[in-house]
Amino acid sequence: MRSVLTFLMCAASNVAFSICPAPFISSTSNTFGISICSLSSIPPRYHSHAENVLHDLLDYNNDLIPDNQKSLTEMLSNQAVFLVLSEEEELELYERKSGNHSNFTLVYTGEMVLNDVPQFDATIEEALHLVTAEGYSKAYPGFFGEFQGSKISTFLDIARGGYFSEVPKKYPAEAYFTYYDRTCDYGCQITEFLYWAITTLRGQQKHNWRDYEIEEEWRPETREKLLKLDRSLVEFLSKKEFSILY
């Protein structure tokens, strides 16, 4: 297993510079081969923070072994990239230089929280989107595929109070996930739903200062509330084969 992982990491390192082209800089050594990509003008502490956050998502129990090798392999195969940028113009530059490479998520430095303050760190959200969209959804399409008919889509429909191919003007009263961004299609809604569910299980949404920020989009800010609303979802995400640790 370790020899296979070493090969995959080396292979990813070789391709990282094509998906993180000059003048961008890349690092992969702390993220099991997944590329963190940023400009040299961005202070190194932001790049390092993104590395640490992504590492912790891939190795949540911190035993130096990826929690889910199958998902990681898909991310490497898809050349998944986590971008750290400071402004939208840098995204336009990346897209031109990379040939419109699309298998990435990004976080802006202005959204990142590097200190211990009562504010949610968007780095966690965007890095987790990369793990689920480019990893789990591809490794387990029947379970985590970002389309109607996958197992996670059935839980999404319950959470939103029904199936909606497009964002409704108003969600049903029983919905506990109500995301109104009309640019977020059905697959995107699954990505967002997984972020909320996993971070809730990990206790990352339960802070008193966080509750009022999220109540219009997500109701169960604690594991206990999520269990009460949808125990089957919690049981599904807790399956040993998925290694979504919390």
Cα separation of 246 and 206, whole Å?
14
- State residue 18's pLDDT score: 64
Grouping H, G, I as helix, E, B as strand and the rest as coil, residue 19 is helix
Q: Is the pLDDT of residue 209 over 90?
A: no
| Other Cβ atoms within 10 Å of 203 Cβ, number | 12
- Residue at 68: amino acid letter: N
What are the pLDDT digits (tens) for 152-193?
999 999 999 999 999 999 999 999 999 999 999 999 999 999
What tokens were used for 150?
A: 């996958």
What are the pLDDT digits (tens) for 81-126?
999 999 999 999 999 999 999 999 999 999 999 998 888 999 999 9
What are the boundaries of each domain within the chain?
2-133, 140-242
What are the pLDDT digits (tens) for 212-228?
899 999 999 999 999 99
Cα separation of 83 and 86, whole Å?
10
Q: In this structure, is the dihedral angle defined by the CA atoms of residues 159, 165, 170 and 172, taken in order, positive or negative? A: negative
Which residues have a Cβ under 8 Å from the Cβ of 150 and sit 6 or more positions away? Answer: 141, 142, 143, 144, 190
- State residue 196's pLDDT score: 98
Q: Is the pLDDT of residue 137 over 70?
A: yes
What tokens were used for 123?
A: 């780095």
Cα separation of 239 and 244, whole Å?
8
What is the band of 131 on the pLDDT scale with cuts at 50, 70, 90?
A: very high
Cα separation of 180 and 193, whole Å?
12
- State residue 15's pLDDT score: 41
Question: Do the Cβ atoms of 35 and 67 come closer than 8 Å?
Answer: no
Question: Do the Cβ atoms of 176 and 229 come closer than 8 Å?
Answer: yes
Q: Is the pLDDT of residue 5 over 70?
A: no
Beta-strand ranges (E) seen in the chain are 24-27, 35-39, 81-85, 104-108
> Which helix or strand (DSSP H or E) is residue 73 part of?
helix 69-77
